[in-house]
């Protein structure tokens, strides 16, 4: 009987593992191999060793894309988690129509990122400037997407708007695991408002905070759809994310080998940041 169960589990696991290897592991290995070549995406190629990796560290366009991506990821992660936590606290309280509000806030997560990006691109390009002219506001009269200083803010707004939904659900799940006894004991000690949140609620939902932080940083570092739909990396390459640069120059620009090296470095950076986040959060949990 045990052998049959093991055989069944093995039959379930093997096809999934085969698909993972075919569509994830093999492309990853091929990408690493191409990173040591001058492959253009077609035709023959020659080995160039570490030249692609050395050129990456002196390429100002690559440096600019990393700067923009990290700036967006840090700001969007902070804004998303603050708003998500506030919404979760509100939606977890005893208010009417909680189910309706939860569904309404989760709706942005259901929509495709490209679709959302095109809708907001129209909003920032035509609707907001028209409103700005009507109310006589110079700041709103021109499109945010045409200004190098404000285009990244528009992208951040869209990223946050779409990611707040899932983060809120995760925080609500965390808040529902907090026992009522803890709050009752805290109220006896005079814990209310901010003190109640800081000393009781937040320490108990740190695992959920960790999950949201890791997912947010990873998702925002890999931002692509919003950039593709709204700015195409402009104006003047000021919103060119790393993922968009890898796609644009690697797939369309004939620098497949060079951008494969960029992708390998980017992969290592994301893994290192995620590991560091998990390690720091684990130590925090142990202290609490």
Indicate if the pLDDT at residue 121 is higher than 90: yes
φ, ψ for residue 245, nearest 5 deg: -65, -45
Q: Which fold has domain 61-287?
A: MetI-like fold (1.10.3720)
pLDDT (0 to 100) of residue 194: 75
| Residue 191 pLDDT class (50, 70, 90 cuts) | low
* In contact, 204 and 120? CB cutoff 8 Å: no
| pLDDT of amino acid 226 | 93
Q: Could you read off the pLDDT of 147-170 as tens digits, one per residue?
A: 898 999 999 999 999 999 899 999
List beta partners, residue 47.
Answer: 37
Asked if 185 contacts 176 with a C-beta cutoff of 8 angstroms, the reply is no
pLDDT-based confidence at 286, cuts 50/70/90? low
**Among residues 218, 221, 248, 220, which one has the least CA distance to residue 233?**
248
How many residues in the chain? Answer: 288
**DSSP helix/strand/coil, 37:** strand
Strand partners, 37: 47
Beta-carbon contacts of residue 205 (< 8 Å; ≥ 6 apart): 171, 174, 175, 177, 178
pLDDT band at 102 (very low <50, low <70, confident <90, very high): confident
pLDDT in tens, 212-229: 998 899 999 999 999 999
Instruction: Determine contact, residues 219/275, Cβ cutoff 8 Å.
Output: no
**pLDDT over threshold 80, residue 96:** no
Angle subtended at Cα 285 by Cα 281 and Cα 288, rounded to the nearest 5 degrees: 140
List the chain domain ranges.
61-287
Q: At 288, is the pLDDT very low, low, confident or very high (cuts 50, 70, 90)?
A: low
Sign of CA dihedral 137, 141, 143, 147: negative
pLDDT at 242 over 70: yes
pTM over 0.85: yes
Alpha carbons 245 and 242: distance in angstroms, whole number: 5
| Euclidean distance between CA atoms 218 and 24, whole angstroms | 18
Residue 1 pLDDT greater than 70, yes or no:
no
pLDDT top residue among 284 and 10: 10
Tell the burial category of 196 from Cβ atoms under 10 Å away from its Cβ (0-12, 13-18, 19+). middle
Write down the number of H helices and E strands in the chain.
Answer: 16, 0
**Of the candidates 106, 72, 79, the residue with the CA atom closest to the CA atom of residue 231:** 72
DSSP class per residue in 47-76: B-TTHHHHHHTT-HHHHHHHHHHHHHHHHH
The answer to whether 123 and 161 are in contact (CB under 8 A) is: no
CA angle 79-240-230, nearest 5°? 70
Distance CA 285, CA 260 (A): 37
pLDDT category at 234 given cuts 50, 70, 90 is confident
- Residue-level pLDDT at 79: 96
Give the mean model confidence (pLDDT) for residues 41-69.
Answer: 91
What's the CA gap between 227 and 241, in Å, rounded?
A: 7
Strand partners, 84: none
User: Looking at the predicted structure, is the pLDDT value of residue 284 above 70?
Assistant: no
């Amino acid at each position: 009987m045990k052998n049959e169960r093991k055989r069944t589990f093995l039959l379930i696991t093997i096809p999934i593992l085969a698909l993972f290897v075919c569509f994830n592991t093999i492309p990853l290995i091929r990408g690493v191999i191409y990173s040591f070549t001058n492959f253009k995406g077609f035709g023959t190629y020659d080995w160039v060793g570490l030249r692609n990796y050395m050129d990456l560290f002196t390429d100002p366009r690559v440096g600019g894309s990393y700067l923009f991506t990290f700036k967006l990821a840090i700001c969007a992660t902070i804004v998303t988690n603050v708003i998500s936590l506030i919404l979760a606290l509100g939606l977890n309280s005893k208010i009417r129509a909680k189910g309706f509000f939860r569904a309404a806030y989760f709706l942005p997560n259901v929509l495709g990122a490209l679709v959302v990006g095109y809708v907001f691109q129209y909003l920032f390009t035509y609707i907001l400037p028209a409103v700005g002219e009507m109310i006589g506001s110079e700041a709103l009269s021109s499109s945010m997407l045409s200004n190098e200083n404000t285009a990244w803010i528009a992208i951040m707004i869209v990223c946050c708007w779409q990611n707040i939904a899932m983060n809120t659900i995760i925080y609500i799940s965390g808040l529902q695991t907090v026992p009522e006894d803890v709050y009752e004991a805290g109220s006896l000690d005079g814990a209310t408002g901010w003190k109640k949140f800081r000393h009781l609620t937040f320490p108990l939902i740190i695992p959920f905070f960790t999950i949201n932080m890791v997912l947010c940083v990873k998702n925002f570092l890999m931002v692509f759809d919003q950039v593709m739909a709204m700015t195409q990396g402009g104006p003047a390459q000021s919103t060119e994310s790393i993922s968009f640069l890898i796609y644009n120059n690697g797939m369309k620009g004939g620098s497949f080998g060079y951008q494969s090296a960029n992708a390998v470095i980017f992969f290592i950076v994301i893994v290192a940041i995620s590991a560091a986040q998990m390690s720091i959060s684990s130590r925090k949990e142990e202290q609490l």
